[in-house]
Structure 1
Amino acid sequence: MGDKTEKLLSTLKLQPVVPVLIVEDAKTAVPLARALVAGGLKAIEITLRTDAALEAVRLVAQEVEGAVVGAGTILNAAHYAAAVDAGSQFIVSPGTTQELLDVARSSDIPLLPGAATASEVMALREEGYKVLKFFPAEQAGGAAYLKALSSPLAGTLFCPTGGISLKNAMDYLSLPNVVCVGGSWVAPKELVTAGDWAGITKLASEASALKG
Structure 2
Amino acid sequence: MSLRPYEVMAAQRLLPVLRSSDADEAVRATEALLAAGCRAVELTTSTPGWAGAVSRTAALTDALGRPALIGVGTVTTAAQAGAALDAGAGFLVSPYPAPEVREVAGRRGAAFVEGGFTPGEIAAAVRCAGAAKVFPAHVGGPAFLRSLRAVLPDAFLIPTGGIAPGDIGDWLAAGASAVGIGSGLPADPAELAALFATLAAPGPYGER
RMSD of the TM alignment (CA)?
2.1
Query: Equivalent residues in 2 for 1:35-184 (5 A)?
Result: 35-64=32-61, 66=66, 67-127=68-128, 129-139=129-139, 141-175=140-174, 177-184=175-182
CA distance in 2, matches of 1:201, 1:86: 31
- The residue type paired with residue 167 of structure 1 is G
Q: Deviations over 1:77-104 (max 9, x none)?
A: 0000010111101111111122222112
User: Structure 1 residue 122: deviation in Å?
Assistant: 2.5
CA distance in 1, matches of 2:25, 2:37: 19
CA distance in 2, matches of 1:110, 1:118: 21
The share of aligned pairs that are identical, in percent, is: 32
Gaps of 5+ in 2: 202-208
**What's the TM-score once normalised by structure 1's chain length?**
0.83
Aligned residues: 197
SS of the residue aligned with 1:22? coil
User: Structure 1 residue 201: deviation in Å?
Assistant: 5.3
Is this contact kept in 1: 2:18–2:26, CA < 8 A? no
CA distance in 2, matches of 1:20, 1:167: 16
- The residue type paired with residue 179 of structure 1 is S
CA distance in 1, matches of 2:18, 2:185: 7
Q: Deviations over 1:21-77 (max 9, x none)?
A: 012232233332221112121100001102121111111113455421111100010
User: Structure 1 residue 204: deviation in Å?
Assistant: 4.5
Q: Are 1:210 and 2:199 counterparts?
A: yes
Q: Are 1:17 and 2:18 counterparts?
A: no
CA distance in 2, matches of 1:158, 1:123: 12
Residue 196 of structure 1 corresponds to: none
Q: Give every structure 1 segment of 4 or more consecutive aligned residues whose post-TM-superposition deviation is greater than 6 Å.
A: none
Residue 195 of structure 1 corresponds to: none
Is this contact kept in 1: 2:26–2:43, CA < 8 A? no
User: Structure 1 residue 186: deviation in Å?
Assistant: 5.4
- The residue type paired with residue 92 of structure 2 is I
